[in-house]
Amino acid sequence: MPLSQQRRFPRSARSVGEARTFALDVLAQWGLTDRSDDVRLCVSELATNALVHGVPPGREFCVGLSIDGPVLRVGVRDSGGGRPEARDPGADACTGRGLRLVTQLADDFGVTEHVVGKTVWLDFKVAPSRNEEP
């Protein structure tokens, strides 16, 4: 049976760390630790992107995790428009590498557009949870 948890975060720089902690807590609850470093980095990047590019003042973003068999999905939903794409910044650029990094760490990547906003999601292949029924 699939498991899922989600939490909303306010438009605040502090929310990025809180989103990372939330994701790691969920993984620990589910007994999934083999990809926790990858998930932590990716949640940090997607939450930061949501704050910088997708969450208007006074709005929130949502981090959701779900596990179905060997696939963990991490999604960050915001109310902004546009479709994020991995860029190829120059060697001297200080930004622009995050989405390229997360697409290399994850096993799959996509964007689901909504009437308002979008969800940027990543899939990770994981070892079976010790909390799942055989």
Residue range 19-45, pLDDT digits in tens: 999 999 999 999 998 999 999 999 999
Range of the domain at 39: 3-125
Tell me the pLDDT band of 88, cut-offs 50, 70 and 90.
Answer: confident
CB 117 within 8 A of CB 80: yes
pLDDT of residue 94: 60
CATH number, domain containing residue 69? 3.30.565.10
* 130 located within any domain: no
* pLDDT on residue 35: 94
Sheet holding 60-68, edge to edge: 3-10, 60-68, 71-78, 118-125, 108-113
pTM: 0.89
Tokens of 47: 């939450």
**CA dist., res. 118 & res. 22, Å (int):** 20
**Considering the domain boundaries, does residue 56 fall inside one?**
yes
